[in-house]
C-alpha cells in the first residue's frame, strides 16, 4: 500500500545541440524536450511525444567553439548571436513548462546518452536560474536502461545493436526537438520491453 503513495515519475526526453564538449567554455545552442510518459505504482504509460513539447535556440555564451561540433547541429552561431533567446529567459521558460506538464508528478529527464545532454542542461539551469526542476539527479540514461535489460556491457550498446522494434521510425535529424521526440518513443519502447527473447508487449 505504501508504494501507491509514491509520487509518479513524469519522464521528459531532452536533446541538446552544443558547439563543444563541455558547458561554460562552450555553448548549448538549442534544446528540445518532449514528454515521453508517466510511471506510477501501476506501471508505465507512454505519452504521445508530440503533444507536450518545448524548443528554444540560444544565444552563445562564449566566443569559443569546436567546428566539428557546430557542424553536427547545422546551426549558425552568427544568427544565434543576433536572434537566439537569452539563456536566462529560455531556461526560466523551460522550468515553468516542466512544472506545468509534471503537475502532480516528479519530473525526470531522460536522454541518449543522458550524460552529455544532462551535463549541459543542468549546468545551464543552475547557472542561469539557480535551480533545476529535476533536482540534482533526476535523470535516466537510455543506454544504461537498455544495457541492463539486455544483459550487455554498457560500452557494447549503440542504437544499431538494439532490436529494430525498439527504435523509433522517425529520422535522427540533429534538430533538438526532432531528436527529443524520436528518443521519447525509444524510451517508451524500452520501458515496456520485457527483454531479449520475449515478444514485445505492443
Write the pLDDT tens digit of every residue in 87-135.
999 999 999 999 999 999 999 999 999 999 999 999 999 999 999 999 9
Arithmetic mean of pLDDT over the chain: 93
| Residue 4 pLDDT | 55
pLDDT at 202 > cutoff 90: no
Quote the percentage of the chain above a pLDDT of 70.
95
174 assigned to active site: yes
Kindly state the average pLDDT of the residues 43-69: 97
* Type and span of the H or E element at 91: helix 87-101
Kindly state the average pLDDT of the residues 75-87: 97
Kindly state the average pLDDT of the residues 177-182: 96
The Cα–Cα gap between 53 and 51 comes to 6
pTM over 0.95: no
| pLDDT range class, residue 196, cuts 50, 70, 90 | confident
End-to-end CA distance of the chain: 29
| Residue 1 pLDDT | 44
Active-site choice (52, 136, 174, 175): 174
Q: C-alpha 50: how far from its chain's center?
A: 14
| Residue 198 pLDDT | 60
Kindly state the average pLDDT of the residues 140-151: 96
| pLDDT range class, residue 57, cuts 50, 70, 90 | very high
Amino acid at each position: 500500500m505504501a508504494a501507491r503513495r509514491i509520487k509518479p515519475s513524469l519522464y521528459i526526453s531532452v536533446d541538446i545541440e552544443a558547439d563543444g564538449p563541455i558547458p561554460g567554455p562552450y555553448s548549448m545552442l538549442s534544446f528540445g524536450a518532449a514528454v515521453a510518459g508517466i510511471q506510477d505504482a501501476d506501471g508505465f504509460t507512454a505519452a504521445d511525444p508530440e503533444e507536450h513539447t518545448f524548443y528554444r535556440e540560444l544565444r552563445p555564451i562564449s566566443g569559443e567553439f569546436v567546428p566539428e561540433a557546430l557542424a553536427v547541429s547545422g546551426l549558425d552561431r552568427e544568427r544565434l548571436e543576433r536572434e537566439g533567446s537569452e539563456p536566462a529567459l529560455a531556461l526560466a521558460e523551460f522550468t515553468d513548462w516542466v512544472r506545468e506538464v509534471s503537475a502532480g508528478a516528479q519530473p525526470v529527464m531522460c536522454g541518449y546518452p543522458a550524460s552529455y545532454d544532462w551535463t549541459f542542461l543542468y549546468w545551464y539551469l543552475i547557472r542561469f536560474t539557480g535551480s533545476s526542476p529535476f533536482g540534482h539527479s533526476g535523470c535516466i540514461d537510455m543506454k544504461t536502461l537498455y544495457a541492463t535489460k539486455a544483459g550487455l556491457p554498457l560500452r557494447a550498446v549503440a542504437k544499431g545493436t538494439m532490436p529494430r522494434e525498439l527504435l523509433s521510425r522517425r529520422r535522427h535529424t540533429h534538430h533538438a526537438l526532432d531528436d527529443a521526440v524520436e528518443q521519447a518513443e525509444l524510451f517508451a519502447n524500452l520501458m515496456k520491453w520485457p527483454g531479449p527473447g520475449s515478444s514485445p508487449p505492443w
